[in-house]
């Protein structure tokens, strides 16, 4: 997708601070961190959200979870705790329409729930 910022990060056309990369997945620090540690983990393949995932995509979504486990260990938060979450659609606040998982850690996180 030529107009997708995360595809541009995958292609190296936009800069990012990477923390993890393999053949299918890349992870990099969020530009506007919502926690002391805020990493975005994405499949290199473009699809907009969980809604658009097809049978061939479940393996890479598993790879994203595996990357999260590895990132937690490498950043030293496996024991203290972390959250991995994806926003899908308007009510979840999805802004970038390339599937991504937020990896949040480094402090006690707010409970999940409905916005005020
Ligand atoms: P969403 O609300 O779509 O789940 O989250 C999109 C996330 O992407 C936001 O946390 C936002 O700060 C992050 N983001 C948007 N543009 C860029 C960018 O160009 N580089 C990086 N590293 N993060 C970005
Ligand atoms: Zn994309």
pLDDT in tens, 5-16: 999 999 999 999
Three-state secondary structure readout of 39-84: EEEEECCCCCCHHHCCHHHHHHHHHHHHHHHHHHHHCCCCCCCEEE
The dihedral over CA atoms of 26, 41, 32, 80, expressed in degrees to the nearest 10, equals -120
Predicted confidence at residue 50, as pLDDT, reads: 98
Rounded CA-CA distance 32/114 in Å is 21
**Mean pLDDT, range 95-105, rounded to an integer:** 98
For the structural domain made of 5-105, what CATH number should be given? 3.30.428.10
- Give the mean pLDDT of 67-76: 98
pLDDT for the residue 1: 64
Indicate whether 116 pLDDT > 80.
no
Tokens linked to 55: 């049978």
Q: Is 101 in the pocket of ligand 1 (CB under 6 A)?
A: no
Ligand 2 centre to CA of 69 (Å) is: 23
Residue 2 above 80 pLDDT? no
* pLDDT tens digit sequence for 30-39: 999 999 999 9
Strand order from edge to edge, sheet including 18-21 = 18-21, 25-29, 37-43, 101-105, 82-85
Rounded to the nearest angstrom, the distance between the alpha carbon of 96 and the centre of ligand 1 is 7
Catalytic residue among 97, 98, 100, 102: 100
The arithmetic mean of pLDDT across residues 30-53, rounded, is: 98
Q: Is 7 in the pocket of ligand 1 (CB under 6 A)?
A: no
Average pLDDT (81-109) is: 98
Nearest Cα neighbor of 41 from 20, 27, 56 is 27
């Amino acid at each position: 997708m030529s107009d997708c910022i995360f595809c541009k990060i995958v292609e190296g056309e936009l800069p990012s601070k990477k923390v993890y990369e393999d053949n299918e997945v890349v992870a990099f620090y969020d530009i506007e961190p919502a926690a002391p540690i805020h990493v975005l983990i994405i499949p290199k393949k473009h699809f907009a959200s969980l809604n658009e995932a097809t049978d061939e995509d479940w393996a890479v979504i598993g790879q994203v979870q595996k990357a999260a486990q590895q990132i937690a260990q490498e950043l030293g938060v496996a024991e203290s705790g972390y959250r991995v979450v994806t926003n899908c659609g308007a009510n979840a606040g999805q802004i970038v329409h390339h599937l991504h998982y937020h990896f949040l850690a480094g402090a006690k996180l707010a409970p999940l729930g409905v916005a005020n």
